């Protein structure tokens, strides 16, 4: 039979994880999935267009990932998944699972809303894949990969050691060519986590504040502390970076400081900048797209 798409694999994948109490890598269940669907040896070895992996591996991985985002699978450590309590309960119902069905789970809705945010804000209908041109499909696929990577990266940042997060912030500023950075111990004097020397002699500096929050927003008091540290120094510039968001009063406070400039970077912008400057990510593959050269056929010999 034909290789099922990743949605058709979801029930089978969930059932396999439900049958094991141990954590398992997605690639370790590939053969069991293939057996369930009676795939031929040829189908098991078919590659995706990039030739980097088999279609089977790619689709099993996506099925696992979506089940994880809905909370039906847990990820106890890097690369491994296991069934969750919600997953066990859902598996026992034998309901048909697909992307539409997963939208009954709040955390999957939060995940999928990031992909659809622009469409929702502009009240635009989501274009069906069959109505898209190849260029549109490619662009949408690229955007989905980017959004998924942002989610993964932000989740990782929220769980790194606070000191490591401060180091990452300094690495980012250096990669963006703002100068040479260093961490500081001024945590009791305005909460300054780092300093960037914009020039070789350190005549121009930037103060950094890094807040690694899972859910809490940066509030006005925290912004006041940071602004106070700037106000008590000759430093004119500050960058406040968080994995979360800034509440409205914190934003107003940052904009109200006379003679100083405070740049705010929230979790979404932080991950975008890290991806742009290749921090914490690596290149998976490159796709070369070619089009017909009309001029070539019109040239005179």
d(CA 7, CA 30): 15
pLDDT digits 0-9 by tens, 153-163: 999 999 999 88
The confidence score (pLDDT) of residue 278 equals 94
Mean pLDDT, rounded, of the chain: 85
Task: Give residue 39's pLDDT band: very low, low, confident or very high (50, 70, 90).
Answer: very high
The confidence score (pLDDT) of residue 206 equals 93
Could you give the 3-state DSSP secondary structure of residue 165? helix
- The residue ranking higher by pLDDT, 177 or 292, is 177
What DSSP designation does 47 have?
B
The confidence score (pLDDT) of residue 114 equals 57
List the single range of 254-258, 261-265, 287-291 with lowest mean pLDDT: 287-291
Which of 296, 68, 32, 279 lies closest to 168, judged by CA?
279
E strands, the chain, are 73-77, 80-83, 180-183, 194-197, 205-211, 237-242, 261-265
The confidence score (pLDDT) of residue 38 equals 95
pLDDT digits 0-9 by tens, 104-119: 998 898 777 755 554 4
d(CA 270, CA 218): 15
pLDDT digits 0-9 by tens, 71-101: 999 999 888 999 999 999 999 999 999 999 9
Tell me: pLDDT of 274 over 70: yes
The confidence score (pLDDT) of residue 127 equals 39
Q: Whole-model pTM?
A: 0.68
The confidence score (pLDDT) of residue 133 equals 67
The confidence score (pLDDT) of residue 50 equals 65
Tell me: pLDDT of 121 over 90: no
d(CA 298, CA 277): 41
d(CA 272, CA 283): 15
Tell me: pLDDT of 139 over 90: no
pLDDT digits 0-9 by tens, 214-256: 878 999 999 999 988 888 888 999 999 999 999 999 999 999 9
Could you give the 3-state DSSP secondary structure of residue 72? coil
Q: How many residues does the chain have?
A: 301
Q: Say if residues 192 and 219 touch (Cβ distance below 8 Å).
A: no
């Amino acid at each position: 039979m034909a290789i099922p798409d990743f949605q058709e694999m979801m029930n089978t994948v969930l059932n396999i994880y439900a049958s094991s109490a141990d954590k398992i890598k997605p690639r370790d269940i590939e053969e069991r999935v293939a057996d369930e669907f009676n795939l031929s040896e040829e189908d098991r070895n078919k590659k995706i267009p990039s030739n980097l992996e088999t279609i089977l591996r790619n689709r099993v991985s996506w099925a696992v990932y979506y089940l994880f985002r809905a909370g039906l699978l847990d990820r106890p450590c890097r690369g491994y998944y296991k069934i969750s309590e919600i997953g066990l309960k859902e598996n026992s119902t034998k309901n048909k699972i697909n992307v539409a069905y997963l939208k009954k789970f709040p955390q999957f809705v939060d995940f999928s809303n990031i992909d659809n945010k622009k469409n929702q804000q502009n009240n635009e209908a989501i274009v069906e894949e069959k109505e898209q041109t190849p260029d549109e499909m490619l662009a949408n696929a690229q955007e989905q990969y980017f959004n998924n990577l942002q989610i993964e990266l932000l989740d990782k940042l929220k769980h790194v050691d606070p000191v490591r997060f401060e180091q990452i912030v300094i690495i980012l500023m250096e990669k963006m060519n703002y100068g040479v950075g260093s961490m500081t111990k001024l945590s009791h004097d305005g909460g300054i986590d780092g300093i960037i020397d914009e020039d070789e002699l350190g005549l121009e500096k930037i103060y950094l504040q890094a807040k690694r929050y899972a859910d809490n927003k940066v509030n006005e008091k925290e912004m006041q502390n940071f602004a106070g540290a700037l106000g008590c120094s000759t430093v004119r510039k500050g960058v406040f970076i968080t994995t979360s968001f800034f509440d409205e009063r914190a934003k107003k406070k940052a904009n109200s400081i006379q003679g100083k400039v405070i740049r705010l970077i929230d979790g979404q912008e932080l991950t975008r900048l890290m991806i742009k400057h290749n921090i914490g990510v690596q290149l998976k593959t490159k796709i070369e797209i070619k089009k017909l050269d009309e001029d070539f056929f019109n040239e005179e010999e």
